[in-house]
Amino acid sequence: MLRIGVMVSGGGTNLQAILDKITDGNLKNCVVVTVVSNNKNAYALERAKQNDIPSAVISRKAFADTKEYDKALIKHFTEFKCDLIVLAGFLSLIGEGFIKLFKNRIINIHPSLIPSFCGKGYYGIVPHQKALEYGVKVTGATVHFVEPEYDSGPVILQKAVAVEEGDTPESLQKRVMEQAEWEILPEAIRLISNNRLKVDGRIVRIL
C-alpha cells in the first residue's frame, strides 16, 4: 500500500482528483493518510475532513527559520509513515532538508509545460496569464519530482492543452485543470505505486 501525504494551499481540486481515482478503483494500493496545508482556510482541508483524512496546518511563518519548518514537516510525514509526498496546489517553498530526506519521493503539479511559464511567482492563475500574453497555441500541465528550486526537478509526465480563441486566464486555467492536471497527477502516482518510474539523472523513464 502506497501511503501518500498531500500538501495543499487552496481549493484542493487536485487532492479531490486523487481521492476520486482511489474511490473509483483507478488508483489501487494507494491511500492518502494525511493532508497538510500552509493555509488554515484552504478548502482542501474541508475535503480532507469530508474523507476522514487527518490534516494539519503547518505554515512556514510559524517557525523561526526554514530548518525548524523542515523539521516539523519531516516529523509529521514520518509519523504518518508516508512513502510519497504530493504537492497539490501547494504554493509555498519547502526546505532542502525535507527534499533531501524524501529524495525522489516528493512530486508537484505545475500548470504549464515546464520549462515554460514556471519558477518563482508563476503559480495559480499567473502561468495562464503569461501563456495568453505570450500568444502560445499550446500550454498544459507538468508533474515533476521536487528539488530545492521552484519547478526545477526531473519531469515525470506532461499533458498538452490547446489555447482556444477568446480564452481568458480563467477559462484556460479551468481547461488545464480538467484536461491535464486532474489526469496526470493521479497517473504519476499510479506509476510510482507500481514502481514504474526509473530516474536516470534528469531523465525519468517509465518502465
Type and span of the H or E element at 60? none
In the complex, minimum distance from the CB of residue 170 to ligand GRF, in angstroms, rounded to a whole number: 11
128 is catalytic: no
- Is the bond preceding 115 in cis, omega lying within 30 degrees of 0? yes
- Residue closer to ligand GRF by CB (options 15, 161) is 15
In the complex, minimum distance from the CB of residue 134 to ligand GRF, in angstroms, rounded to a whole number: 18
The verdict on 177 binding ligand GRF (CB under 6 A) reads yes
Cα gap 75→88, rounded to integer Å: 20
The catalytic position among 76, 110, 128, 144 is: 110
The verdict on 18 binding ligand GRF (CB under 6 A) reads no
Which of these ranges, 10-18, 70-78, 94-102, 153-161, lies near ligand GRF under the rule CB under 6 A? 10-18
- Residue closer to ligand GRF by CB (options 84, 109) is 109
For the chain, the farthest-separated pair of C-alpha atoms sits apart, in whole angstroms, at: 49
Closest residue by Cα to residue 82 from 36, 22, 23, 50: 36
What angle do helix axes 182-193 and 13-23 make, rounded to 10 degrees? Answer: 50
Cα gap 88→15, rounded to integer Å: 6
Site for ligand GRF in 120-139 (CB under 6 A): 123-124
Q: Per the structure block, which three cell numbers stand in for 68?
A: 525548524
Q: Which of 70, 147, 151, 181 binds ligand GRF (CB under 6 A)?
A: 181
Q: Per the structure block, which three cell numbers stand in for 44?
A: 482542501
Q: Which of 109, 146, 156, 161 binds ligand GRF (CB under 6 A)?
A: 109
- Residues in contact with ligand GRF by the rule CB under 6 A: 8, 10-15, 44, 88-89, 109, 111, 123-124, 173, 177, 181
